[in-house]
Amino acid sequence: MASVLKLTDVSIVRDENTILDSVNWTVEPDERWVILGPNGAGKTTLLQIAAAAIHPTSGTADVLGEQLGKSDLAELRPRLGFASSAMARRIPRNEKVLDVVMTAAYAVTGRWNEEYEEIDERRAHRVLNEWNLDHLSERAFGTLSDGEQKRVQIARAVMTDPEILLLDEPAASLDLGGREELLELLGGFASDPRSPAIVMVTHHVEEIPLGFRNALLLRKGGVVAQGVIDTVITSEKLSDTFGRGIDLTESDGRYSARASVAAES
Ligand SMILES: Nc1ncnc2c1ncn2[C@@H]1O[C@H](COP(=O)(O)OP(=O)(O)OP(=O)(O)O)[C@@H](O)[C@H]1O
Q: Is residue 170 part of a domain?
A: yes
CB 183 within 8 A of CB 202: no
Write down the pLDDT at residue 112.
52
Q: Is residue 264 part of a domain?
A: no
Our count of domains for the chain comes to 1
Write down the pLDDT at residue 111.
45
Q: Is residue 237 part of a domain?
A: yes
Q: What separation in Å is there between the alpha carbon of 44 and the centre of ligand 1?
A: 7
How do the pLDDT tens digits run along the chain, 265 residues long?
689 999 999 999 999 999 999 999 999 999 999 999 999 999 999 999 999 999 999 999 999 999 998 877 778 888 999 998 888 888 888 999 998 998 887 664 444 554 557 888 899 999 999 999 999 999 999 999 988 999 999 999 999 899 999 999 999 989 999 999 999 999 999 999 999 999 999 999 999 999 999 999 999 999 999 999 999 999 999 999 999 999 999 999 999 999 998 755 4
Write down the pLDDT at residue 208.
97
Q: Is residue 44 part of a domain?
A: yes
Q: Is residue 265 part of a domain?
A: no
| Cα–Cα distance measured from residue 178 to residue 155, given in angstroms and rounded to the nearest whole number | 16
ipTM of the complex: 0.96
Q: 11-20 — which CB contacts under 8 Å span 24+ positions?
A: 11/56, 11/57, 11/58, 11/59, 11/221, 12/42, 12/45, 12/49, 12/54, 12/56, 12/57, 12/221, 13/57, 13/58, 18/221, 19/45, 19/221, 20/45, 20/46, 20/49, 20/56, 20/221
Q: Is residue 205 part of a domain?
A: yes
Q: What is the CATH number of the domain that holds 219?
A: 3.40.50.300
DSSP 96: B
CA-nearest residue, atom 17 of ligand 1: 44
Q: What separation in Å is there between the alpha carbon of 20 and the centre of ligand 1?
A: 9
Residue of 10, 18, 23, 45 best suited for mutating to test ligand 1, as the one with most atoms within 8 Å of CB: 45
Write down the pLDDT at residue 125.
94
Q: Look up the domain containing 168 and give its range.
A: 5-259
Q: Is residue 101 part of a domain?
A: yes
Give the chain's count of helices (H) and strands (E).
Answer: 9, 12
Helix (H) or strand (E) holding 28: none
Write down the pLDDT at residue 110.
41
Please report the beta strands in the chain, taking only residues with DSSP state E, as ranges in sequence order: 5-14, 17-27, 32-36, 58-63, 66-67, 80-83, 164-168, 197-202, 214-219, 222-228, 246-251, 254-259
Pocket of ligand 1 (CB under 6 A): 14-15, 19, 37, 39-45
Question: What is the number of the ligand 1 atom nearest to the C-alpha of 48?
Answer: 18
Q: Is residue 156 part of a domain?
A: yes
